[in-house]
Amino acid sequence: MRQPDTDTPASPVNPQVEPSTDLRALLDTLAERAWIIGLCAAIALLGAAYYAKRAPRSYEATATVQVEQEAQRLVKIEQAVKEDLRALEIMNTIVQKLSSQPLLERVLETNDLANDPQFAGVPAPGKPPATREQMLGRLAGMVKASLRRNTRLIDVKVAYSNPVQAAKIANSVVDQYMNQDFELRSSTTRGAFAFLKAESERLKKKLEASEQALQLYREEVGSVSMVQGDDVVLPQLRELNLRMAQAKGESIRLKTAYEQVQNSGSNVWEMLNAPQIGGDSAVIEARSIVAKLDSDFALIRQRYLEEHPKYIQASSQLEEARRALSNSVLKAAESLRVAYENAGGAEKGMDQTIRSTEEAALKLSQKAIRYNLLAREVESDRALFDNVLNRLKETSLTTDIQSEKIRVIAPATPPGSPASPRVPIIFGASLLAGLLVGGMLAFGLGALDTSFRTVEGAEQYLRQRVLGAIPRLREVKKSGRPLLETADGQSQGVEAFRTLRTSLTLLGRQRDRRAFLFTSALPREGKTFSSLNFAASLARQGLRTLLIDADLRNPTVAKYLTANSAQEFAGVTDYLLGEKTLAEIVRKEEKLEHFYWVPGGHFAPNPDELLAQGKFSDLVNEALREFDRIVIDSAPIQAVSDTLLIADETETTVLVVHGGSTPRKSVARCVQLLQNAGASMGGIVLNLLPRRRGRGYDYYGSYYARCRKAVKGQPKARKPTAAQLQND
């Protein structure tokens, strides 16, 4: 019977806890199923190679044209149809017209593509040739026009199997567009020319009729007076009115002076106060003479007496001068009267002249109304006729001028290499698609896989120690023997079981852990292989080790070690039935020192009843007295209940799990059953674990330190980084 377990029991199983998904697990999944990704990538590359080989070669020729900012003009005349070539809508319209159906029809006819067998294709027997619509659709699929961003350049690309024909079609598209545009503009200009010509004939006849009507009216009213009109009469009236105003002013001035003279009566000296009298030249001269003589007479009176001859002479000269002054004043008054009367007569005559001139102007204005209407109509008809005639000449000149809406920058030339299939892009896209599909399949299979493929996943899910990880061993497949040879001490298999031996040794005191029970959840998980090689590992350590085959329903230890059937040897069943002793059933392995084994024995119809009788405990206790270590190979738990009957007979129970195969829930169920049966769970052994790549460690050569960490629960010591040292 096993001794009480002094170690802390393992944590209970919690099957609901799923392993966490992190970047490392994803990388592990990709690394494990890298063959799927590689296979998908290879299939994709093969498909790409097949497509690249079978795909028809297509050559792409490009003709580049530039849209002018405005139409070039050889002469300074306006076109009949004008477009703003600077607008983006116009450039996009040109792009669409370069691949329009009418233009493609012209290209089809110009290059005679309908009769080209390479383009039209050779009709199959019994089938009609390609229709015009089909050929146009084929040509439309070949031609592609695109506007370069932020430029005025348009690329016309033609993809065709013949490089020379592709360049020819690309240049033909540009040429036919220019011809089509020229014809369209020419037809529009010719229509405008015909309209302008008809309009000019009509306006010419109308102008002639207007001129004839004007001429008849001139002859009727007199062309001279019509020509003079306002140009002569109005200035004349203005002059007459001015002179009339002057005459009235002069008459008023003379009337005032005359009335002043009339009021003076015969008093000469009062008449002299009138400006018109006092300002007369004769009066002024007479007054100056009187003034001089009066001054001289005043001197003579002071010297001489009245009887003196000089006095008398001076007095008579003064009187004579005064009479001359009076006569001058009277003559001036008479002249004023005559001037006044003449001014009145001139005013009346001027008034009559103004009246007659105004009457003549009114009559002339009435005649000029119709004259002006006829003259303006003639001028309007002449101006309209001149404009239409000039436009007609311009239109006639622009009819034969080629439009310069677009200009060829780079004509298409035959390409030297095919544009499609683009082999690098095809292979790159195929490789990427293969990698993506392979990655998705790898992740999908990983998500569907419910087995254990990593130590971390098993420990986290089962809450049990993973004692060892045994990979697929090439040496077992090569030798055909389940017992690993001892010559290759550095092989992965030997190292894996050394690690398992060390892990079980570190579970507790050696005297308390001498008996080990190996079992599995399902058959064919490698429990016999694991127990056999673990026992061999103990024997190589120098310990007398006994391997007991307790799988009474399917004993295989004898077959693996002797290549004979287990029924040929007495074994466990014979001991339990009391027919054999321990010494009689123990066999020595000749090839390995200190290694002994007990076969399952002869067939027993009821193995579970034999194991339930309790004699198996006697077998274990008796074996422990003679051997240092005992390893028991038992039956699968979910297949039969035999193992649960003897699970409490050993100090350590090891559950062997087929890595990458056994479902997690089945393993968790077995752990639960073993714990319920009183088994002392030592841990899990992951057998046939898939080889992994891309990890920072492996499970085959350096798993010793990993298992120490799993057993003791202590993290692996790592060299602190510079950042950690600075933070401490």
Residue 218 CB partners (closer than 8 Å, separation 6+): 226, 371
**281 close to 295: Cβ distance less than 8 angstroms:** no
What's the CA gap between 491 and 704, in Å, rounded?
14
Backbone angles phi, psi at 596, to 5 degrees: -130, 155
Q: What's the confidence (pLDDT) of residue 399?
A: 56
Q: What's the confidence (pLDDT) of residue 40?
A: 92
**552 close to 604: Cβ distance less than 8 angstroms:** yes
Topology of domain 451-711, per CATH?
Answer: Rossmann fold (3.40.50)
β pairing state of 466-471 and 681-689: parallel
Within 10 A of 229 (CB to CB), how many other CB atoms are there? Answer: 17
**566 close to 599: Cβ distance less than 8 angstroms:** yes
| pLDDT tens column, 79-134 | 444 455 557 788 888 889 888 888 888 888 888 888 888 887 777 676 778 888 88
Mean of pLDDT values over 402-431: 83
Tell me the CA distances in angstroms from 201 to 207, 208, 347, 393, 503, one per residue in order.
Answer: 10, 11, 60, 14, 120
| pLDDT tens column, 240-289 | 777 777 777 777 777 677 666 666 666 666 676 677 666 677 777 877 88
Backbone angles phi, psi at 371, to 5 degrees: -60, -45
Which amino acid would we find at residue 201? E
What's the CA gap between 19 and 618, in Å, rounded?
42
Q: What is the C-alpha end-to-end distance of the chain, expressed in Å?
A: 51
Q: What's the confidence (pLDDT) of residue 70?
A: 61
Within 10 A of 521 (CB to CB), how many other CB atoms are there? Answer: 24
Mean of pLDDT values over 655-683: 91
Percent of the chain with pLDDT over 70: 78
pLDDT band at 136 (very low <50, low <70, confident <90, very high): confident
Instruction: Write down the pTM of the prediction.
Output: 0.50
Q: What's the confidence (pLDDT) of residue 704?
A: 36
Q: What's the confidence (pLDDT) of residue 694?
A: 39
Of the candidates 669, 538, 553, 510, which has an alpha carbon nearest to the alpha carbon of residue 594?
538
Tell me the CA distances in angstroms from 538 to 501, 504, 534, 590, one per residue in order.
Answer: 7, 11, 6, 16
Mean of pLDDT values over 143-147: 91
575 or 352: which carries more pLDDT confidence? 575
Within 10 A of 267 (CB to CB), how many other CB atoms are there? Answer: 11
Find the range with the poorest average confidence among 293-297, 357-361, 536-540: 357-361
Mean of pLDDT values over 498-508: 85
What's the CA gap between 174 and 163, in Å, rounded?
17
Q: What's the confidence (pLDDT) of residue 114?
A: 82
Q: What's the confidence (pLDDT) of residue 225?
A: 52
Torsion of CA 75, 77, 81, 83, to 10 degrees: 80
Q: What's the confidence (pLDDT) of residue 708?
A: 38
**533 close to 497: Cβ distance less than 8 angstroms:** yes
| pLDDT tens column, 679-715 | 999 999 998 877 654 343 344 444 333 433 443 443 4
Q: What's the confidence (pLDDT) of residue 190?
A: 66
Average pLDDT, the chain: 78
Q: What's the confidence (pLDDT) of residue 315?
A: 82
Tokens representing residue 544 in the block? 């007398």
Q: Is 303 exposed, middle or buried (0-12, 13-18, 19+ CB in 10 A)?
A: exposed
pLDDT band at 22 (very low <50, low <70, confident <90, very high): low
Whether the pLDDT of residue 719 is over 60: the answer is no
Find the range with the poorest average confidence among 140-149, 376-385, 639-648: 376-385
Percent of the chain with pLDDT over 90: 21
6 or 319: which carries more pLDDT confidence? 319
**65 close to 173: Cβ distance less than 8 angstroms:** no
Q: What's the confidence (pLDDT) of residue 549?
A: 94
Q: Is 41 exposed, middle or buried (0-12, 13-18, 19+ CB in 10 A)?
A: buried
Mean of pLDDT values over 11-36: 62
What's the CA gap between 384 and 202, in Å, rounded?
11
Q: What's the confidence (pLDDT) of residue 566?
A: 61
Mean of pLDDT values over 29-37: 80
Which amino acid would we find at residue 401? I
What's the CA gap between 501 and 493, in Å, rounded?
12
Q: What's the confidence (pLDDT) of residue 11?
A: 43
**492 close to 700: Cβ distance less than 8 angstroms:** yes
- Cis peptide before 421, with omega less than 30 degrees from 0? yes
Which amino acid would we find at residue 251? S
Which amino acid would we find at residue 394? E
pLDDT band at 75 (very low <50, low <70, confident <90, very high): very low
The residues that bridge with 548 in the sheet, in sequence order, are 598, 632
What's the CA gap between 573 and 610, in Å, rounded?
8
| pLDDT tens column, 283-301 | 778 778 878 877 877 888 8
Q: At what angle do helices 101-110 and 163-221 cross, to 10 degrees?
A: 110
**667 close to 591: Cβ distance less than 8 angstroms:** no
Mean of pLDDT values over 306-320: 81
| pLDDT tens column, 458-500 | 888 888 999 988 888 777 766 666 777 654 456 777 888 888 8
pLDDT band at 599 (very low <50, low <70, confident <90, very high): very high
Sequence spans of domains, the chain: 224-398, 451-711
Tell me the CA distances in angstroms from 603 to 380, 553, 600, one per residue in order.
Answer: 136, 8, 8
What's the CA gap between 502 and 704, in Å, rounded?
7
SS3 assignment, position 481: coil
